[in-house]
Structures are given as structure tokens and as C-alpha cells.
Amino acid sequence: MSDAPAKARALLDVFELTAKLRTPASDLSRGMRQKLAICCAYLHDPSAILLDEPLTGLDPQGIRVLKRTLQERAAQGAAVMISSHLLAMVEDLCTRVLILAHGEQRFCGPLDELRMSFDLVDTSARLEDMFFAATSP
């Protein structure tokens, strides 16, 4: 990539890592290493982004930046997949959900369809309520 240095600098600025530019990754805190990994993932402008528990170690500012940048990348056409136990975050970011229980698919689709699938007529039901409806025996 001919523009890698400029893109890297911009990403480090967005994730507030510029001050740590010369710090070895092994000397960074867990949250800063998480931010650095996200910057590395974003560097090539991938058309698909797969994240497993992306908020691990992030501070509130880092969480906000990650959410915003994921929404921006999705709006630009990137496919974003997130695996997480943090259902409020999933609900904030995702348009479709996949619910698994003991390795078995219980639901895959939009949140509105999830409500209908499990007779949750309360439109204010949170994803947590829907998850337990979908996974209860």
C-alpha cells in the first residue's frame, strides 16, 4: 500500500494511540493493544470485518470510537460480523443476529423477526429478553 503510513497515522489518531507511536506493542496495556489490533485490521479497508469480543479491554472512549468506526465502515459497504456476549452492544450495532445455544442455531435474522418468532409482542423488549426466550428449553 503506497498510502499505508498516512492511513496508519490517521487510524492511530482516531484511536488515540499517536502518543504511543514508538512504544513496542508488548509494552502497551491490554486496551491499547486491542486498539492497535483494530487499527491493523482497518488499515487495508477490508470489505469484511469479523470481530470476536471487540470491546475487551477498551475504555469508554475506545468503545465509543470503535462503535462509531464500525458503523461508518458498514455504511461504506463493509460486512461487519461481531461475536459477543455483550447483548446491549450487539443490539446497538447489529441489524441482524444469530443466536446459538449449545452449538445449535436458535435464530438468524433481523431483530424484528426475532420478536415475532418468539411471540414477544412488546416492541420494547431488549435483545437480552429475546435471547432468553430463544434459548430457554
Asked if residues 105 and 98 have their Cβ atoms less than 8 Å apart, the reply is: yes
Q: How far apart are CA 105 and CA 13, in angstroms?
A: 40
49, β-bridge pairs? 80
Residue boundaries of the structural domains of the chain: 1-84, 95-137
Domain 1-84 superfamily per CATH:
P-loop containing nucleotide triphosphate hydrolases (3.40.50.300)
Tens of pLDDT, residues 91-120: 888 989 999 999 999 999 998 788 778 766
pLDDT of residue 120: 63
DSSP character for 28? Answer: S
pTM to 2 decimal places? 0.84
Single-letter amino acid, residue 1: M
Tens of pLDDT, residues 1-20: 789 999 999 999 999 999 99
Tell me: pLDDT of 124 over 80.
Answer: no
In 3-state terms, what secondary structure has residue 62? Answer: helix
